[in-house]
A = this chain, B = another copy of it.
Amino acid sequence: MITNGIVLQMDAENTRIQNGAVAVVKDKIVAVGTRDEFANWNAVRVIDAEGGIIMPGLVNAHTHAAMTCFRGLADDLPLMTWLNEHIFPAESRLDEETVYRGSLLACAEMIRSGTTCFCDMYLFEGAVARAAHTAGVRAVVGEVLYDFPSPNYGEIVQGFAYTEKLIEKWRDDPLITIAVEPHSPYLCAPDLLKQASEQARRHQIPLIIHLSETQSEVEGIKEKYGRTPVGFLDDQGVLAPNLLACHCVVLNDDDISLLKDHDVKVAHNPESNMKLASGVAPVPKMLDKGICVALGTDGCASNNNLDIFLEMDTAAKLHKVDTLDPTVMDATTVLRMSTIDGARALGLDHEIGSLEPGKAADIIVIDTRKPHLTPMYNPVSHLVYAARGSDVAYSVINGNEVMNKGKFSSLDEVKVMADVEEIAEEIRKANGTTEL
């Protein structure tokens, strides 16, 4: 039982309950109501929200968790310098163990900042699934697939086999969902895309791709295939309701119509798009069309944190200044993007994203007794415009209390950090510097 807080259900009506409580039995929410309605209940464990906010855990719809290993390694550089001279060389030394350590650190950071479900694309995704499972955080994970050989699986035919094995291995796990994840139109030939789409359809799981992230991607694809990246995916028959398209920065009106017509979901990553100078995704237009848009942090080498609260703040503000309209992307819209719409983007809205009886108990509690959250006229405004990940006091995922005032039940945080510092030390040595 989580009690004594303002409950934000994030259901269809955005119901708020003052002096509310949420009752959990095992892994499920069984009741939501005012505190009084639970007066006669006898809970074995009571979390006292102490007047704070009780809400669904946040969904990070696009990240590369293990890139925590490269946090702050290189900033403020042209994209190709950043990739070719810093990120790719660092990634070339990745293996199952480093990805596991990096992902575990990402899980610790995400849990602490209120994320209870993340969607990942990277190499060695078996390690990411293990890390999420260990940390007790919900995750959608899929091995990145592309035309050239992978340091993990080798040739692409093995990539599909590796994905098939992941699907088999994690089929009955309550926290882990496997997805099929071709990298992008520019790194995946038509055949790869069709096979990936087919594999996802056969297993009824998400298909996830980077799409239209930069102007140069759009120009390259137009030159090669005579279509925009979205149009090209349409030609391949890949656009579908189970497709999650990440970024979608450079879109024309036809692209937006295609995404809408096929009920494609979009993951918006404003901080990464800003830091890499990719551009501003036309999110208000997509929302007007009724496209489901979720929020993601992207990998933390281009952010440089995994804090969805800060991403919400940035998303709300960026589109106001971009459109010169202070009414777009209001706080409720943005909060829905990080909760129920995030769940919908991952095909998990029947299970998570709102506090409703029958759904999985993925719940966070925000401590609002802080100067920067005082006074409180409107909890939704505070969550989007004033709060930070560090305001999360409790995190419950699938009914398990994974974090209690900064203490983890599932992780040894000090060891998790030390393990990644070891990796960083190797990278520093390879770069010939021990200076910070």
Contact = CB atoms under 8 A, between A and B. Distances in A.
Interface in A357-411: 369-372, 374-379, 381-382, 385-386, 388-391
Contact of A436 (B16, B271, B274, B329): B16
A320 to B, nearest CB: 4
Interface in A411-436: 413, 416-417, 420-421, 423-424, 427-428, 435-436
A117 interface: no
A153 interface: no
A375 B72 CA distance: 8
A284 to B, nearest CB: 12
A277 B416 contact: no
A305 B374 CA distance: 10
A313 B307 CA distance: 13
Interface in A74-115: 75-79, 82, 105, 108-109, 112-113
Contacts of A79: 326
A253 B381 CA distance: 37
A15 to B, nearest CB: 13
Interface residues of A, number: 79
A323 B300 CA distance: 22
B324 A424 contact: no
Taken together, the copies of this chain in the complex come to 2
Contacts of A428: 377
Given A330-B75, A390-B390, A424 B375 contact: yes
Given A326-B82, A385-B305, A388-B390, A75 B331 contact: yes
A23 interface: no
Nearest to A435: B18
A176 to B, nearest CB: 21
B417 A374 contact: yes
Contacts of A277: 320-321, 323-326
Interface in A105-136: 105, 108-109, 112-113
A329 B323 CA distance: 23
Contacts of A108: 371
Contacts of A262: none
A136 to B, nearest CB: 15
Interface of A: 6, 16, 18, 68-69, 71-73, 75-79, 82, 105, 108-109, 112-113, 271, 273-280, 300, 303-307, 310, 313-314, 316-318, 320-321, 323-327, 329-331, 369-372, 374-379, 381-382, 385-386, 388-391, 413, 416-417, 420-421, 423-424, 427-428, 435-436
Given A18-B436, A82-B326, A376-B436, 16 more contacts: A68-B371, A68-B374, A68-B375, A72-B382, A72-B385, A72-B386, A77-B327, A113-B372, A304-B385, A318-B321, A369-B417, A370-B417, A371-B416, A377-B427, A377-B428, A378-B436
